[in-house]
Amino acid sequence: MPLFGTDGVRGLANGLLTAELALHLAQATAVVLGQGRSAEARKAEGRRLTAVVARDPRVSGEFLAAAVAAGLASSGVDVLDAGVIPTPATAFLIADHDADFGVMVSASHNPAPDNGIKIFARGGTKLPDVVEQRIEKALEGDRLQPTGAGVGRIRRFADAEDRYVLHLLGSLPHRLDGIHVVLDCAHGAAAGVSPETFKDAGAQVTVIGAEPDGLNINDGVGSTHLDVLAEAVVRLGADVGIAHDGDADRCLAVDAEGNVVDGDQIMAILAVAMKERGALVDDTLVATVMSNLGLHRAMEAHGIRVLQTAVGDRYVLETMNERGFSLGGEQSGHVIMSEFATTGDGLLTGLHIVAEMARQKKTLAELASLMTVYPQVLVNVRGVDRDGVNDEGVQEAVAASVAELGDSGRVLLRASGTEPLVRVMVEAASEQVARAHADRLAEVVRERLAL
């Protein structure tokens, strides 16, 4: 089974993900990422490789980040320890400092017992599959073992937060003065930097979920538990709520009435605003096949094309990078604004959403109303042959639903990549219609593809 998943190496800390594995993975990374043109140039100039290492506040991050730093330094890499900062801050700092690569120790929205290791290449970009495979193979090979003055140094990245905050503030098209924002930091990596940034941008800020103790990350708070934020916004009479996940690479929002504004709605707001100021490259938004039909309809009405990718922010990123697009993301709140970031950035996204409220002098509900959210029903059909989604009987049933729904709905069947499961997703003008089609298709899948 491959070590790398869809977003780095992730698992139970001190279970699958041990200090020994973290150290060896760092050493293998030094071997593979130390072979590029920039690395050779540094060697020619007598300079060692440099890497930024950071983590989220979960307790296991302390020993895992230490192991990563030790593995890099033992391979002759100078380490800049940025401490607890968001994942997108790590990506930004790699580029801003001209480091050769970087490592973020985080399991994002997972509970505290889990952790993960995310590796970024030069420029703060995610690694392609082929490079991850080379690193995994290098775990079995020889490692760099310099001695004496050849070993790397580990130093504190003293102004890491300040650089990131200044970068975020410099990206804003408008200040946030006069807007009351409730921030839910998920007891995660945003707890220190997000409140400071929103205040510096002019917002009145109330903070929840900003007391990390190493064990409470994502526990009943953050982007996966929006009810807490919604209650706080309504109770306080605030204008908007912004929710991060544990490593702050995603953002979801809540309007003044406590209604959730998801990643599709956020992308719709930003896409229209960016088009108006000429910042939306080729008038194109990149989204996954799971994005709501309402997003497609709204973008069509505003002369914006939606380019679809497979599910996963890495596929959105690949398409954006290949073709130079400026905005993309997922319904889950991973939003990528490539003018300012190389990965999803929850702080950047939240700031720009609130900036649009201030600039247009509109509520979030008014901004979000440009998109009608179609009811979406998802049924997971288990115990079936996931390779059989192209079965003739299944495809006939899909075609019948597509024909019946017409322009008012959408059908998507997706096979799981890891288990005997097929996901049936149906969107329609009403939840009742969507549910009826989803249940009918799920029954066909069960009958035709049963193991």
- Name every residue whose Cβ is closer than 8 Å to that of residue 276 and which is 6 or more positions away in sequence: none
247 annotated ligand-binding residue: yes
* Adjacent-strand bridge partners of 119: 103
223 annotated ligand-binding residue: no
Answer whether 211's CB lies under 8 Å from 187's CB: yes
Q: Is 308 helix (H, G, I), strand (E, B) or coil?
A: strand
Task: Identify the DSSP state of 132.
Answer: H
Q: Is 108 a catalytic residue?
A: yes
Answer whether 245's CB lies under 8 Å from 87's CB: no
Nearest of 89, 12, 7, 16 to residue 53 by alpha carbon: 89
**CA angle, residues 41, 47, 48, in degrees to nearest 5:** 100
Nearest of 290, 364, 361, 297 to residue 332 by alpha carbon: 290
Quote the tokens at residue 290: 């799971």
Return the residue matching tokens 């890495």: 314
Q: What torsion, rounded to 10 degrees, do the Cα atoms 22, 27, 31, 34 define?
A: 90
CA 349 to CA 356: how far, in whole Å?
Answer: 11
CA 347 to CA 168: how far, in whole Å?
Answer: 8
Quote the tokens at residue 123: 């420029």
108, 223, 326, 332: which is the annotated catalytic residue? 108
Answer whether 55's CB lies under 8 Å from 64's CB: yes
Exposed/middle/buried for residue 419 (C-beta within 10 Å: 0-12, 13-18, 19+): exposed
CA 153 to CA 76: how far, in whole Å?
Answer: 8
Quote the tokens at residue 188: 């995660």
- Name every residue whose Cβ is closer than 8 Å to that of residue 236 and which is 6 or more positions away in sequence: 180, 182, 206
Report CA torsion sign: 291, 332, 343, 366.
Answer: positive
**CA angle, residues 262, 313, 284, in degrees to nearest 5:** 75
416 annotated ligand-binding residue: no
CA 191 to CA 212: how far, in whole Å?
Answer: 7
249 annotated ligand-binding residue: yes
CA distances from 38 to 72, 132, 135, 339 (A): 17, 19, 18, 23
Answer whether 343's CB lies under 8 Å from 312's CB: no
Q: Binding site for Mg(2+), residues?
A: 108, 245, 247, 249
Q: Active-site residues: which are they? A: 108
Q: Annotated binding site: which residue ranges?
A: 108, 245, 247, 249
